[in-house]
Amino acid sequence: MSSGFIRFEKKDGAEYAFVCKAKRVDGKKTNDVENLGRVIDRARGIYKNRQRGLFAFSLEGGYAPPPPDLNAVMEEAEEKLILDFGDVFLLDEILKKSGLRPVFEKACPDASDTLLAMLAHRLLDVDSASRYAHEWWDGSYARFLYPKAALHSQRISEFLSMLGEESGQREFFKAYIAHLVRKQRGSGVLIDSTGLPNDIHFPLTAINSHNGVISNESRLIFVIDRHTSMPIYFRYTAGNTVDVATLKATLLELAAYGVKVNYVVVDAGYYSETNIRDMQAAGIPFIVRLVPNRKIYKDLVAEHIDGLEDAKYMVRYGQRLVFIKQAPVSLFGKAGFAYIAVDMDRKHDEIRRYALSALDDGDVPDDKINAEMRTKGMFILLSAQNIGCDEILPVYYEREKIEQVFDFSKNNADLLPLRLHSEEAFRGHLLLSFLASAAYLTCEKMLEGSGMCAMQSFHSFRNLKCKVFDDKIVVQEANKKMNDTLRHLKLKLPSYISLW
């Protein structure tokens, strides 16, 4: 029985075998194909189907009983016949419905299953390190959704290096940005950076001092769309690169990807004559906060502090009371607007802390204390456009959206800690965290009005299991909360999924 050959095929996470033998019928040569069933151990020729159960087969010896030591292997396999289903099903369906799944796959088309499986692991198994990704995948429906995923530790390192290749990242951002801003004539953007502490020995790790804290770190720059709150782009620099030096390159890279920036909101670290002039030359309106050590800040305070806390300057921002006075200002030869403001809650807190410190010191003159306390709670915003005093704070505090993305990336998308050994793997790690943030925010938006946030939904749906049989996966019954979420998303839960 040695004639013929065995053909192997992979389908939905399982491997199947077929015996192909040549024969002649009415003088014509044809192939006779016999289905052996699912492959249990290819090296030892162990298979399983409904007619024979578990058996051994070889072309030389034909059918035979399985070896006795296979019991342990099958016991382990039996434990994995009931899998976590709902969470990865929900995430994958949302990515498909939003159009993001094919866009994400462009980031690494040669390993898209690994990419999607790693993305799902980061979002759905947030308390588990990447080195346990294979164990998660093996007990989840993810192994049928992403059957070619290579999630062992060494393979993950290789994958991150592949994902970090510049050519692949460029193809991804072209597709992603086109998908994200396809209906917009221009994009208002929020730009900010955060430190990524690490002890990696490569040029991107450098000593940085921020708010009196000194650390070895790299810097991550995020660009967020003002209106959708979605991350558009990211860059990275060495840890000792100051924010003010990064704005021009960030805007140029956005332009290279076809993003027409029509508004920029940045924090005080980005204020400089060069940056203001560059935005003016490009015709990009902006809002930026001033730091108190700037001459323009001191001049505006000296001119406008008297009478600032007048009822005519009162503005309500949520539950906060802020006095805001608008004043024209020259921004390096071009007209602009300054917003001199006092936040009353912040003022009272800062006065209390400063006064107690001055009293404890005991040597601070009263006139100096009075002068210092006058400016507590003050801040100044600059704008290239004339914006109403009741509108300036909502626009500027859209910056909080980027802080929320940073918080999610660090706490839920496995951005930190960094344990990488090359710049390519570092870049791949950052892109994977970027994808996780974009995917999570997309889920949040699509679940608005459902009564469930994305994380709640994932936790709830993880209790939805499936049973794996030889020819199909049978999905267990969803509860009311799950069905309500599916109706909100206009998704249908399958009763079974065929494996043939």
94 pLDDT exceeds 90?
yes
Dihedral angle over CA of 158, 161, 167, 169, nearest 10? 110
Residue 91 contacts residue 124 (beta carbons within 8 Å): yes
Every domain of the chain and the residues it spans: 5-79, 81-280+399-464, 286-384, 465-498
Report the helix count and the strand count for the chain, using DSSP H and E. Answer: 18, 20
Q: What is the pLDDT of residue 1?
A: 45
Q: Which of 214, 269, 193 is nearest to 206 (CA)?
A: 214
The single-letter DSSP state of residue 69 is T
SS3 at position 30? strand
Q: Give the global pTM.
A: 0.80
pLDDT 10s digits, 39-52:
888 888 988 887 88
Q: 203 falls in which pLDDT band (50, 70, 90)? A: confident
Q: Are 219 and 235 in contact (CB under 8 A)?
A: no
Whole-number Å distance between alpha carbons of 497 and 500 = 9
- pLDDT per residue over 346-371, tens digit each? 999 999 999 999 999 888 999 999 99
Q: Report the relative pairing of strands 286-289 and 206-210 from DSSP bridges.
A: unpaired
φ/ψ of residue 78, rounded to 5: -60, -35
Q: Which residues contact 257 (CB under 8 A, 6 or more apart)?
A: 173, 174, 177, 233
Least confident of 63-77, 125-139, 230-244: 63-77
pLDDT mean across residues, the chain: 90
Whether the CB-CB separation of 15 and 38 falls below 8 Å is answered with: yes
**Cis peptide leading into 231, omega within 30 of 0?**
no
Per-residue pLDDT, 494: 94
* CA torsion angle 260 262 268 270 (round to 10): 30
Q: What was the pLDDT predicted at 453? A: 93
